[in-house]
Amino acid sequence: MSDIDEKVAPRREERLGAGCVYGGNACGLKAQFGGCRLKANQRGFGQGSICQLLPGTAMLSTLPNSVVILHGSLGCGGAINLQTANVRYRQILSGERNPQGAIWMTSNLDERDVVSGGEEKLEKAILAAEQRFRPATIIVVATCVPGIIGDDIDGVAARLQPQIQARILPIHCEGFKTQIMATAYDAIFHSISRHLLPRGEGEGQAPVIVDELEIARERIRRSRLVNLMNFASMSASEQGELTRLLQALGLTVQVFPCYSDPERFVDATQAALSISSCPTHDDYFLKHLQERYGVPYILRHMPIGIAATGDWLRDIARFFHLEKEAEALIAQETRELEEALAPFRAAFAGKKALVSAGEVRAFATAAFLQELGLSIVAVRPYHYDEFGEPSLDRLTEKQDDVIVNVATIQPYETLNIFEKTRPDLYMGHIADNVWAAKAGVPVVPIWHGGFSSAGYSGAFDLARRINRVLRNPSFNRRLRENLKQPYRKEWFHEDPFKYIREAVTN
């Protein structure tokens, strides 16, 4: 019996031994993790975190022809407006003339529903979504309240499905259940696998082709057909760059899951290979595609930076016996990129950087900054598990003294590290960047829908943005001079990891 046969996906804390509490150096982190599980550390004081609903709604908002119903209190939808704006922006960048963004609703549970149950409201919301929007899928996302009061969202979906044209996808995304927000990806892929992929013999298979020539053509097409896995924060230009590189190897590319029509997900079961561009995002789904449909996968590197992009291509080429073609492609792309980077290198030499993001992106970006000539003072991944290891290894090949602070936000630790290390550059997501800016550290957002950092063209785009910011750091310097820091001076004399301790186990 596999995890997919269960109603709810397991938490990453149990499935992968993932943890989000660590402060020390990179070698200490490797020793603590030991290839299987981060120690059950705890914070005696915590400040800020991210609910799994944030990455969950980011991913779900990208699914076209869908309505997302947040089953819970109205406030849980706070972050989804940002996601719909991101989706609309991406649609505009992709040349969409009438960008719609994402459609979302809430069942708007209140105090009375906490006592009497929220299933009735959910039923009404599903029926309203069907009547008003006629979508291909209606996605029901359970938040904390239904998780606590015991609403049966799977039962409601099963009850209503016969009278609803849209496919209903129940997703268990209750924020209180996990500290590892990436668990949301598993919850979504769990529901996609259970409700959008064929589960019985022959169901959803491609139609039988009778013509022999057609059969041969189809076999060849499928032998080079790959699933390129994207994610909500992969920009259109990044997706274009990775597709370009795969096509240069002669592969036929179909992209899942973001911005991909849910009715096409079944095509993922027909590919010769699935290719991850972020192991943290994809492992649950790709393992399922292999187990149930025999589609092998490659899941190791995030193609950010020169060496990582080369290794990402080499892994794929090895599967198709295209090693020679891949080496020629890598050599040509690297040569052109190095020429383009040459004018920036003097400005980067000796500069210090601090990087924060999801584990793979954070370590991969830090390793790329090393390739550019910067040194890394610290990396702050939101969590850590086995998927962080390959890029952490790449980073520590050049520096084994890098501070690693595994934390989902926790700004008091961030600001303390700023004061101790005084970096020249900070790269992080929106929630962190503001702290760096106020502390006087020049910021380059590690992600934005209009930017690119993947592949060779992404490497150049990233380097150009860093160069622009490093050339004139006066805005952040003045910001620091004119702002009052939110913490007392005494805190900056303390160990930034003062409140982290190992959990006591009996």
Report residue 191 CA to chain centroid gap: 18
53 sits near ligand SF4 (criterion: CB under 6 A): yes
Q: How far is the CB of 31 from ligand SF4 (least distance, A)?
A: 32
Classify burial at 95, counting beta carbons within 10 Å of its beta carbon; exposed 0-12, middle 13-18, buried 19 or more: exposed
Evaluate the CA torsion angle 69, 74, 75, 79 in order and state its sign.
Answer: positive
Verify cis geometry, omega within 30 degrees of 0, for the bond prior to 198: no
Q: How far is the CB of 259 from ligand SF4 (least distance, A)?
A: 25
For residues 412 and 360, give the distance between their C-alpha atoms in angstroms, rounded to a whole number.
23
Q: How far is the CB of 219 from ligand SF4 (least distance, A)?
A: 46
Q: How far is the CB of 51 from ligand SF4 (least distance, A)?
A: 3
Among 29, 76, 317, 354, contact with ligand SF4 (rule: CB under 6 A): 76
Q: How far is the CB of 353 from ligand SF4 (least distance, A)?
A: 32
Query: Which residue stretch of 172-180, 224-232, 400-408, 439-447 sits at the interface with ligand SF4 (rule: CB under 6 A)?
Result: 172-180
Among 27, 85, 144, 340, contact with ligand SF4 (rule: CB under 6 A): 144
Complex with ligand SF4: residue 175 or 458, whichever CB lies closer: 175
For residues 209 and 222, give the distance between their C-alpha atoms in angstroms, rounded to a whole number.
14
Among 175, 279, 381, 455, contact with ligand SF4 (rule: CB under 6 A): 175
72 sits near ligand SF4 (criterion: CB under 6 A): yes
Q: How far is the CB of 114 from ligand SF4 (least distance, A)?
A: 12
Which candidate, 441, 471, 466, 434, places its Cα nearest to that of 453?
A: 466
For residues 434 and 252, give the distance between their C-alpha atoms in angstroms, rounded to a whole number.
41
Complex with ligand SF4: residue 12 or 394, whichever CB lies closer: 12
77 sits near ligand SF4 (criterion: CB under 6 A): no
Among 61, 143, 183, 274, contact with ligand SF4 (rule: CB under 6 A): 143
For residues 326 and 372, give the distance between their C-alpha atoms in angstroms, rounded to a whole number.
23
Joined together, the tokens standing for residue 83 give: 């996601």
Spell out the residues 6+ positions from residue 368 whose beta carbon is closer than 8 angstroms to its own: 304, 305, 306, 308, 453, 459, 462
Complex with ligand SF4: residue 114 or 164, whichever CB lies closer: 114
Complex with ligand SF4: residue 108 or 421, whichever CB lies closer: 108
182 sits near ligand SF4 (criterion: CB under 6 A): no
Q: What is the 3-state secondary structure (H, E, C) of 178-244?
A: CCCCCHHHHHHHHHHHHHCCCCCCCCCCCCCCCCHHHHHHHHHHHHCEEEEECCCCCCHHHHHHHHH
Query: Which residue stretch of 171-179, 222-230, 282-290, 307-315 sits at the interface with ligand SF4 (rule: CB under 6 A)?
Result: 171-179
Binding positions for ligand SF4, rule: CB under 6 A: 51, 53, 72, 76, 143-144, 174-176
